[in-house]
Copies of this chain bind each other. A is one copy, B any other.
């Protein structure tokens, strides 16, 4: 394995941030309040891991990173929508997100529900309107995006989480997170391959392995940080998983067990990446190492 590369590809993050800032959704002034709520949550900063993954993957397969911007933007819109709905009083009932009041705290619950709904719709519109690519390839990418965020993806995972119906043991926990967070992270890699029409079985297989392992790694570290992170770093009170009685990698395996699993998952993701891109993919390595070592 190449040495850990803890610099984050901030040049890609800037490109994403700039692109997101240019997005406008509403064509009329009467909806300005909805637009404001959507942009409030969308432009709250963060590492932009998913859209940066899109741009880095684009480069790793020989495209200009900017080529994937509409897809990247769509995925960040979807991620933002999921955070807004997850924070709602009927769900996790969170007051803070990235150090600021959550969307429903700032704009009211009804506007927050609609801001989430609107971001999801506009995500599809964005990639279907602005993403370059062969129509069949765009179709395949959007199909994957819908699948990754539906009942057998993000929404299904959130259901397992709130309903507490995931199977017991490590397998059930892994499945919950694979659906809730893993599939959208993986889609940030996989949709790029679909969009580019790449269909060599080995490329697909190694990238998919890398992408799904990255999703697992992200969640284990997230669970560890909910126990060990500072409120300030997290932008919300530490220990919210425990307060909600959620099953996490830490409740399941203890802090040391979770850390060991994070290390294994990190190595496995790096190994898959080297197989996917034998000549090296600096930015994807950086993202992987950042996810493994992040403190918020």
Taking Cβ atoms with an 8 Å cutoff, the residues of A that contact B are 25-28, 30-35, 38, 85, 88, 90-91, 108-111, 113-114, 116-118, 120-122, 124-125, 128-129, 134-136, 138-139, 142-143, 146-147, 149-156, 158-160, 162-163, 165-167, 172, 175
Contacts and interface: CB of A to CB of B under 8 A. Distances in A.
A143 B120 contact: no
Contacts of A156: 26, 28, 31, 34, 118
Contacts of A34: 151, 155-156, 159, 163
Do most interface residues of chain A lie in helix, strand or loop, or is the interface mixed? Answer: helix
Contact of A121 (B111, B135, B146): B146
Given A34-B156, A156-B118, A110 B91 contact: yes
| Chain A to chain B: the 8 pairs with minimum beta-carbon distance, closest first | A121-B150, A90-B109, A124-B146, A128-B143, A125-B146, A135-B135, A135-B136, A34-B159
A31 B125 contact: no
A121 B138 contact: no
A37 B39 CA distance: 31
Oligomeric state, in copies: 2
Given A162-B114, A166-B30, A128 B146 contact: yes
Nearest to A104: B90
A85 B159 CA distance: 16
A114 B159 contact: yes
Contacts of A88: 110, 113
B165 A30 contact: yes
B33 A163 contact: yes
Contact of A160 (B31, B138, B163): B31
Contact of A26 (B35, B139, B147, B152): B152
Given A90-B109, A163-B33, A155 B125 contact: no
19 contacts: A26-B152, A28-B152, A32-B165, A34-B156, A88-B113, A111-B163, A114-B158, A114-B159, A117-B120, A118-B155, A118-B156, A121-B149, A121-B150, A121-B155, A122-B150, A124-B142, A125-B147, A125-B150, A128-B143
Contacts of A135: 134-136, 138-139
A186 to B, nearest CB: 16
B120 A120 contact: yes
A175 B146 CA distance: 30
A90 B34 CA distance: 15
A159 B31 contact: yes
Contacts of A26: 151-152, 156
| From A91, A151, A166, residue with most partner B Cβ within 10 Å | A151
